Amino acid sequence: MKWLFIAAECPWPIIHGRWLRVYHLARTLAARGERVDVHCCLPTAEGIEAYGKVGVGMVVGIGRKHVDRGRALHRFSMFAHDEDFGLSIARQTPGYDVVVLCGSRVLQYAEQVDRTCKILFDMVDDSFLEFARRKQTGRTGLRERLRLFKNRLGKVNLERDALRFVDYTSFVSREDCTSFNARHPRHHTLLVPNGVDVGFFAPPADVPPVAAEGPTVVFTGHMSNPNNELAATWLVQEIAPLIWKGRPDVLIQLVGAEPSAALRALASERVAVTGRVEDIRPYLWNAGVILLSMKSGTGIKNKLLEAWAANAPVVATPLACQGVPAENGANLLLGNSPEELARATCELLANRGKRQALADRGRETVVRELTWGAAAARLNAAFGG
């Protein structure tokens, strides 16, 4: 089969979960013998080289950035419509079997896709779940409520007009599928969970012991994401003080690119805010506990899959575990409140055997059920490949 992934930006470097998903789905389909190309605005030389190494072509949509401001195609939409990009899609898509629209920003171009192609809208997470969860986090001032209401109207209009051209809409978790189907009961949804490169994250035999300054509790994520910033702030301000009561030697590490000034201000002798790191794996391998203190957000958390693949013990909120086979006490420990999360963390730090048992079961989970090969196989099955 011939696959074309359409993205508004060059999906390289991998700086967030969406580009991670595009890259691994594309390379895995190519490894199965499919022809796979990526059509995007302003592809970079580094992106062309990186995708080329895994057998994926990258073609120019337009030789400039997608417009960020200007006329929207749908009333109240937050996405400006780039006519040049739409024309490039109309020219490029004939001859492909499946066209994958990567994200809501690209959904507006569904009508420009050649009618001979099947269309998959890879929505990943249902934003309406995210809207609801943000209201529950306390960020519900009048301005925020008005912004969320306007965004909801824009998404409704976009979906109403564009989904009639789409064959399937895919999500990473069943919760997102259910939320979406409540709005569009006749539309076909496809559950395609994220995977993880289990070989890349596997710890080497000579992994060093926990850092000399003491046991570490690690949170990972791209910190420009408001859900990650909220989780990291909650960890430092409300969970960490309870951990330190029992374990004053614990170092909290917030690992991820683009932390805000407010997040950097949380740094202290017992809190490290790293910013962007070249390789996240050593932080996972050397962690006493990975603590995923998510309070908002939707979909599968790649940070959980990576921690499991790195054979690291995990403590998490239930929200961090949606869409994956998480079992409290088997492959991680769950907690809702700061007290529960701190208690679980201290319990693991005090029990090396339990840490290792949870870590081993976590890695077994991703090896068995959450690889990119399994995700690509779901796509092939849906489209008859």
Task: Look at the chain and count its residues.
Answer: 385
Whether the CB-CB separation of 92 and 102 falls below 8 Å is answered with: no
Which residues lie closer than 8 Å to 348 by C-beta, 6 or more apart? 288, 289, 313, 315, 333, 354, 355, 358
Whether the CB-CB separation of 29 and 377 falls below 8 Å is answered with: no
pLDDT at 299: 57
The structure's pTM equals: 0.84
What is the spatial distance between Cα 340 and Cα 126, in angstroms, rounded to a whole number? Answer: 28
pLDDT at 151: 75
What is the spatial distance between Cα 273 and Cα 1, in angstroms, rounded to a whole number? Answer: 45
Edge to edge, the sheet with strand 333-334 lists: 271-275, 251-255, 216-220, 289-292, 314-316, 333-334
Which residues lie closer than 8 Å to 236 by C-beta, 6 or more apart? 252, 254, 266, 271
Residue-level pLDDT, tens digit, the chain, 385 residues: 999 999 999 999 998 889 999 999 999 999 999 999 999 999 999 999 999 999 999 999 999 999 988 888 887 888 999 999 999 999 999 999 999 999 999 999 999 999 999 999 999 989 887 666 655 555 556 777 776 777 788 888 999 999 999 999 999 988 899 999 999 999 999 999 999 999 999 998 877 544 334 599 999 999 998 889 999 999 999 999 999 999 999 999 999 999 999 999 999 999 999 999 999 999 999 999 999 999 987 556 899 999 999 999 999 999 899 888 999 999 999 999 999 999 999 999 999 999 999 999 999 999 998 999 999 999 999 998 6
What is the spatial distance between Cα 209 and Cα 267, in angstroms, rounded to a whole number? Answer: 24
In a 10 Å sphere around its CB, with 0-12 CB exposed, 13-18 middle and 19+ buried, how is residue 55 labelled?
A: middle
pLDDT at 139: 53
What is the spatial distance between Cα 289 and Cα 295, in angstroms, rounded to a whole number? Answer: 18
What is the spatial distance between Cα 59 and Cα 313, in angstroms, rounded to a whole number? Answer: 41
pLDDT at 22: 97
pLDDT at 355: 93
In a 10 Å sphere around its CB, with 0-12 CB exposed, 13-18 middle and 19+ buried, how is residue 381 labelled?
A: exposed
Whether the CB-CB separation of 124 and 172 falls below 8 Å is answered with: yes
What is the spatial distance between Cα 56 and Cα 35, in angstroms, rounded to a whole number? Answer: 7
pLDDT at 210: 41
Residue 15 corresponds to which amino acid? Answer: I
CA 262 to chain centroid, in Å, comes to: 23
